[in-house]
Structure 1
């Protein structure tokens, strides 16, 4: 039986490298789809016998120890879309299929040092324009480490975090966290990054945006706890659960 929206959980967690040593902790939350920035190449993923194994994996990057991984721990299967623009590194358009419920997923790790015009939120801004027609379709998810927050708008000219949020909202695509927790951009109560793992350096930079036809299916949006997760990474997970109730 293929998974459906009424029991789908998407998690993004920047694992700060060495996912193979940390997988058990995130997998206790039973993701159907898991996006892991800073993950090693699949050839290096030597899990223990008791660790659940992914049913599908995509990985992108040049550094074998630190790329972007997309895992399925369910019936969902992945295929990179044909119009993938490889210049927009670490923003990957993926067709997610399983026979009954299909959608487009953009896995995001906004980090491209080779782009002189901007390596962080500028990458997402460019992707929104390049994939304009794809983003107009139904059932769309953009999820991952955006390395961005409204508080840094002044550093990015017109390609700001706020402009990205507005562009997505104009397309009917919204941040699950901000809707569910009734938060405003730039004043989030729940950080997703603790710089250098310091509790006094909190930032909200990891997101899951979904199209309007998925918004009404959001059951919960959870942000990981500092005390537990900073033993393993400077990021905490964003956990989004959907159902039809």
Structure 2
């Protein structure tokens, strides 16, 4: 089982082959064009299912499933958190809930980035359990940007999820501390000297036990396509299919 999140920096249809070479089962793609514009070449692997959310047809949040997996938007979905989307993933050996994340809502004047995640995880509190739960995407946040007087900061989001039995796969696998990551996932203006770690995959305790590897893409290669690099999380074969 492989889950990949990659903010493609728009025009995903022109870049899909590069990320699909890593054979994802689930692919979360912030800044992706709408489904109607996703016209792939004949040699590009087609998803078994796809969902897309957003107001701008050129720049939304796409979730693509492969290998016969099925995506279903949960009835609990609250459009107020337009880019934090609860989805049921079925069709494998084990069903699970996926929260696809692109923390970006300029219409929320109270906080359009990590505050969106903070609000969403409280709204979806009952769905966040230590079993069969994944949150993945572009969180646009890191502990280094915490605003101490605001509860909706990165540190408190991580703490809240950990209290639910949900953990960052990258930090578990690489024994990293929040805010001191050695592997950046984003380079401001694509500049190598402006690195930040802002893309994450959080998994519940049962899934974390099956964690095999977490790879973070190299700037030198991926900067040709985006200011983000992919986060590729692999679990033991057969966990979900």
Contact 2:3 2:25 in 1 (8 A): yes
Give per-residue Cα distances to partners, 1:57-107, cap 9 Å, x unaligned: 000000000000000121210100001010011000001111631000000
Q: What is the CA–CA distance in structure 1 between the aligned matches of 2:35 and 2:90, rounded to whole Å?
A: 21
Post-superposition shift, 1:207? 0.1
> Is residue 136 of structure 1 aligned with residue 129 of structure 2?
yes
SS at match of 1:154: coil
Aligned to 1:18: 11
SS at match of 1:111: coil
Q: What is the CA–CA distance in structure 1 between the aligned matches of 2:162 and 2:20, rounded to whole Å?
A: 31
Q: Report the count of equivalent residues.
A: 238
Q: What is the CA–CA distance in structure 2 between the aligned matches of 1:53 and 1:210, rounded to whole Å?
A: 26
> Is residue 51 of structure 1 aligned with residue 51 of structure 2?
no
1:117-156 paired onto structure 2 within 5 Å? 117-136=110-129, 138-154=131-147
Shift of the 171–55 alpha-carbon distance from structure 1 to 2, 3 Å rule, reads same
Aligned to 2:86: 93
Contact 2:130 2:205 in 1 (8 A): no
Aligned to 2:57: 64
Q: What is the CA–CA distance in structure 2 between the aligned matches of 1:244 and 1:38, rounded to whole Å?
A: 30
> Is residue 158 of structure 1 aligned with residue 151 of structure 2?
yes
Query: Which among 208, 212, 215 is matched to residue 208 of structure 2?
Result: 215
Q: What is the CA–CA distance in structure 1 between the aligned matches of 2:34 and 2:221, rounded to whole Å?
A: 25
CA-atom RMSD in angstroms:
1.2
Query: Structure 1: which 4+ aligned runs deviate by more than 4 Å?
Result: none
SS at match of 2:99: strand
Aligned to 2:169: 176
Query: Which among 213, 226, 238 is matched to residue 219 of structure 2?
Result: 226
Aligned to 1:205: 198
Gaps of 5+ in 1: 1-7
Q: What is the CA–CA distance in structure 1 between the aligned matches of 2:130 and 2:196, rounded to whole Å?
A: 31
Post-superposition shift, 1:30? 0.3
SS at match of 2:232: strand
Contact 2:130 2:206 in 1 (8 A): no
Contact 2:213 2:234 in 1 (8 A): yes
Q: What is the CA–CA distance in structure 2 between the aligned matches of 1:156 and 1:172, rounded to whole Å?
A: 25
Contact 1:223 1:236 in 2 (8 A): yes
Query: Which among 12, 33, 43 is matched to residue 40 of structure 1?
Result: 33
TM-score (norm 1): 0.95
Contact 1:92 1:107 in 2 (8 A): yes
